């Protein structure tokens, strides 16, 4: 996975993680771009000089025209919250694409190529994705939270540390930024694609307090989609081994929970430890 996408990896702590608690309905939408020369950004359709945008100055958007859009990767699907969703699936879309943009700079025409990331859903504010079903996929789009489509980090933020691990024959990438932790598939083992696992699929998102990890893991079902369950674990062997443990829900014929499995262990081994 290209390292220039570290912003997206750092934000990969759950495509449909619960939003800030509130009682009103709320939709999550972001459509952000950065020009290939790094001089311009586009935030939800408005174009700015990158330096001004990083300083928080959005008072002077630049007039521009959008041209051809080329989709690099796309994922569409639905999420279901067993407790709060009322059995109604809610749709989402994640897309990486290139966009041609034209504008006038000092009286002369200027053409830009933008790298973009879109994410949109219509979920209520307290909604969580207990079951995900992918209905359409092109390539392997990353799964950002709102506002993480632009590669350049805002002022004061540091990029995550990325390390490579193995898990049951798959190659994984651990993103570490502050207390946040995510584990993402880089090269899934043979056969996992049939269950909806692709490069970029998120396996774990959570936090770390010293050696202790806490968060949500996912397992993937051809019939029922992507299922989340709580896990806890520890980093051991001088930081070279991570074991996460938790009990995944049992699902009935309609893919609804009907109890829990025996606790299971997810073991990750660091590649090329120092």
- Give yes or no for residue 262 having a pLDDT over 60: yes
Mean pLDDT of 7-27: 30
Fold classification of 160-274 (topology level):
Lipocalin (2.40.128)
Least confident segment among 43-47, 64-68, 98-102, 132-136 = 132-136
Whether 236 and 224 have beta carbons less than 8 Å apart is answered as no
The gap from C-alpha 136 to its chain's centroid, in whole angstroms, comes to: 17
- Domain boundaries, given as residue ranges, for the chain: 29-152, 160-274
Please state the pTM of the whole predicted model. 0.55
More confident residue, 270 or 221: 270
pLDDT band at 12, cuts 50/70/90?
very low
Question: Cα(91)–Cα(227) distance, rounded to whole angstroms?
Answer: 16
Mean pLDDT of 230-235: 94
Place of tokens 């009322």: 86
Beta strands 202-209 and 249-251 are unpaired
Place of tokens 């041209």: 67
Place of tokens 């694409």: 97
More confident residue, 223 or 244: 244
């Amino acid at each position: 996975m290209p390292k220039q996408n570290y912003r997206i990896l750092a934000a990969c702590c759950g495509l449909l993680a619960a939003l800030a608690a509130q009682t009103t309905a709320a939709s999550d939408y972001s459509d952000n771009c950065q020009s290939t020369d790094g001089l311009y950004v586009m935030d939800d359709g408005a174009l700015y000089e990158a330096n001004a945008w990083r300083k928080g100055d959005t008072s002077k958007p630049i007039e521009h025209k959008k041209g051809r859009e080329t989709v690099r990767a796309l994922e569409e699907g639905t999420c279901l919250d067993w407790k709060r969703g009322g059995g109604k699936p809610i749709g989402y879309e994640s897309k990486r694409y290139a966009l041609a943009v034209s504008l006038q700079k000092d009286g002369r025409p200027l053409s830009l190529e933008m790298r973009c990331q879109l994410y949109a859903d219509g979920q209520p504010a307290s909604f969580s994705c207990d079951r995900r079903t992918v209905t359409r996929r092109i390539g392997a789009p990353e799964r950002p939270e709102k506002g993480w489509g632009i590669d350049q980090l805002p002022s004061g933020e540091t990029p995550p540390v990325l390390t490579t691990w193995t898990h049951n024959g798959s190659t994984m990438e651990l993103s570490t930024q502050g207390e946040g932790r995510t584990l993402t598939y880089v090269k899934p083992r043979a056969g996992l694609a049939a269950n909806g696992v692709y490069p970029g699929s998120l396996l774990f998102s959570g936090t770390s307090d010293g050696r202790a990890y806490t968060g949500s893991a996912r397992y993937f079902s051809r019939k029922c989609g992507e299922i989340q369950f709580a896990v806890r674990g520890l980093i051991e062997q001088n930081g070279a081994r991570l074991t996460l443990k938790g009990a995944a829900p049992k699902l009935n014929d309609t893919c609804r929970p009907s109890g829990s499995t025996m606790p299971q262990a997810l073991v990750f081994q660091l590649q090329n430890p120092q």
